[in-house]
Amino acid sequence: MKELFILAVVTVFTLVTYYLVEPFAHSHMHAHHESEKFAYKDLPALTKTGNVARGKDLVMGAGACAGCHGIKVAGMPAPMDAVTAAQAYGVNPPDLSNAGAVFDPKFLAALIKNPTHALMLENKFNAKTGKTFPMPQFYGAGGDIDQEIADMVAYLQSIAVPKDKLTANVAFETACGRCHAIHYEYNLDGKLHAPWTQIGEKPKFKHKQDELAFETKVLDYQDSLTKYLGKLPPDLSMYIRSRGEHFLSTFVEDPDNYLKGTAMPRVGVDAVAAEKVIEHLADVGDSKRHIREEVGKNVMIYIIIFAIFAILWKKEVWRDLH
């Protein structure tokens, strides 16, 4: 009984110290934000049902999307290569092939109508700073502008990979990959994936010259990006461990949550794509998490059996000592 009492005292002091040093201290160091589950409540809901065919005409024609964006799945290559595009715009405009699968439809509609508002960059691009955002507003093609936008969104959704087929790396590349690099290779489903740069996967090169030429391009691109954003966005290789799931999710949902006035725009991913992005970061930075759980279970079983035998041994040895 006395031993149990001592154990209780030791446990209480240990737990109090743990509570003070971890949950309590961290609650005073970092603001906590609850996720709004990617509802984007400040953006207006879509009221019209879009028409895919009309949307296609608008995207390719009057909407003038294809002037800057490539749409590979529709056979439209990007008008400029990534490095040149970044020199012109600051950042390479995304290929729209999977935009409909990754971004929330409400966000896409708001983005087409008023990009700086949807991206929450009005603090940077406004009359006062004299800076204009590279993507112009869509003022309508002569009809009901909300209907036209709904049509374009419907078209983008129709060409995108189906929601259930959206892979983690595609979600990451579409949502984050033009600003953030991941310099770790990663192994997924038995296949080794190359490191990611802002201009795409880094290929394997046979000749040093080709590799250096590629790296020069990456550096040029990063220079434009740094000039545009004020700072080169961080490499995300270990972000799953340095920031954790909750932070990443609520940060992506609204970067202003943690970094007021940051150059990072609101990305506008929907809840599913956000989960995929985080899954990708886990695939890269915490690739052994599944095996860790598996091994953990077995080790715990082993150790519990060990402890039982240790207790039995003690009882056996101490039988004659009492």
Partner 1 sequence: MAHFTKATSMHDWLNQRLGIDTLNRVLATEYWIPKNINFLWAMGMILAITFGMLLISGIFLLMYYQPNVNLAFDSVNYTIMQEVGYGWLWRHVHGVAASVVFLIIYIHMFTGIYYGSYKKGREMIWISGMLLFVAFSAEAFSGYMLPWGQMSYWAGMVITNLFSMGGLHMDGLVEWIRGDYVPAQAYLNRFFMLHVLLIPLAIIGLIGLHFGALRIPHVNNQDGEEVDFDVEAKKYLAGDKANSKVIRFMNDFLAKDMMVVGIFLILFFYLVFYHYDFAMDPVNFDPANGLKTPTHIYPEWYFLWSYEILRPFSTNVGLIAFAFAQVIFFALPFLDRSPNAVPASRRGLFKIWFWAMLIDMIILTAMGKVPPIEPFGTIGFYAALTFFGLWIALPFITMFEKKV
Binding site for partner 1 (CB under 8 A): 2-3, 6-7, 10, 13-14, 16-18, 20-22, 24-25, 28-29, 184, 186, 237-239, 241-244, 285, 287-288, 292-293, 295-296, 299-300, 303-304, 306-311, 313-314, 316-318, 320-322
* 178: amino acid identity, one letter: R
Residue 72 or 297: the one with the smaller Cβ distance to partner 1 is 297
- Residue 224 DSSP SS3: helix
Residue 37 or 231: the one with the smaller Cβ distance to partner 1 is 231
User: Whole-number minimum distance, CB 191 to partner 1, in Å?
Assistant: 15
Q: What is the 3-state secondary structure (H, E, C) of 239-279?
A: HHHHCHHHHHHHHHHCHHHCCCCCCCCCCCECHHHHHHHHH
User: Whole-number minimum distance, CB 34 to partner 1, in Å?
Assistant: 19
User: Whole-number minimum distance, CB 198 to partner 1, in Å?
Assistant: 18
DSSP calls for 132-143: --SSPPP--SSS
- Tell me, what DSSP letter sits at residue 113? H
Residue 20 or 213: the one with the smaller Cβ distance to partner 1 is 20
User: Whole-number minimum distance, CB 261 to partner 1, in Å?
Assistant: 16
User: Whole-number minimum distance, CB 308 to partner 1, in Å?
Assistant: 8
Cβ-based neighbours of 180, under 8 Å, separated by 6 or more:
198, 233, 234, 235, 236
Residue 21 or 53: the one with the smaller Cβ distance to partner 1 is 21
C-beta atoms surrounding 139 within 10 Å:
8
Residue 69 or 280: the one with the smaller Cβ distance to partner 1 is 280
